[in-house]
Amino acid sequence: MTDTPRITHAFVLAAGLGKRMRPITATVPKPLVEVAGRALLDHALDRAAEGGIRKAVVNVHYLADLIEGHVGKRRTAPEIVVSDERGELLETGGGVKKALPLLGDDPFVVFNADSFWLEGPDSNLARLVTAWSPETMDILLLVAPTATSLGYEGAGDFVMASDGRLERRGEREVAPFIYAGVAILKPGLFADTPEGAFSLNLLFDRAIAADRLHGLRLDGQWLHVGTPEAIVAAEARVKASAQVS
């Protein structure tokens, strides 16, 4: 078994329209919506830095100037490079594919800009990086328990086997795990993918077919910040957590 290269690069998906967060997102892009005094994008970038990420590529499309200006003012790690999608919104997979020249040849982390959770004792990103095994995995997802995730009302995304392999919910009424918006991927997975816009779900499904999509259970609590009402609930949970600690 060869030594696994340390994961130092990340891609942050910050180009979306944030329709469910309207009317707030009429003038503020969703990644810049504040929760507990900080923009969601800053929460994600702070998590990235805590997990050892040195360089983060942030894509922009909707209200791109505001996001570029915001990240340009950060003076803390990680180093940030902008991937410009002003001309065409490329969805999750297409956005990552466009930015591959900025991410290098080694596996990297993908963050949803609104990935937000309360940490357990250790950094969940650091746990994800430690769990990464390129010999047995093509993709490793951070997944959260459906039942304890605040603000989530769906039926879940995945069923996880004892060895961490993931399967889609399919016809099951409820799946025990949801995707928490953080993943490790190999750049080679994009070699045979469409040009233009496509979803990362294409790569997830290919990895499932090859028995190489794995998950790591989040230690802490995932907070789904998808609507203006969810911001209030998330801030209350953050405040309660701070009082306990």
Q: Distance (Å, rounded) from C-alpha 42 to C-alpha 33?
A: 10
Tokens of 10: 């990340």
Instruction: Give the per-residue pLDDT at 4.
Output: 57
Helix axes 124-131, 40-50, angle to 10 degrees: 50
Reading the chain (245 residues) residue by residue, the pLDDT tens digits are: 445 568 999 999 999 999 989 999 999 999 999 998 999 999 999 999 999 999 999 999 999 999 999 999 999 999 999 999 999 999 999 999 999 999 999 999 999 998 899 998 999 999 999 999 999 999 999 999 999 898 888 899 999 999 999 999 987 678 999 999 999 999 999 999 999 999 999 999 999 999 999 999 999 999 988 888 889 889 998 988 877 65
Q: Distance (Å, rounded) from C-alpha 237 to C-alpha 227?
A: 15
DSSP state letters, 83-124: EE-TT---HHHHHHHHHHHHH-SS-EEEEETT--EEE-SS-H
Domains identified in the chain and CATH numbers: 9-244 (3.90.550.10)
Q: What is the pTM of this model?
A: 0.94
- pLDDT tens sequence across 142-162: 999 999 898 888 899 999 999
DSSP state letters, 187-222: GGGGTT--SS---THHHHHHHHHTT-EEEEE-SEEE
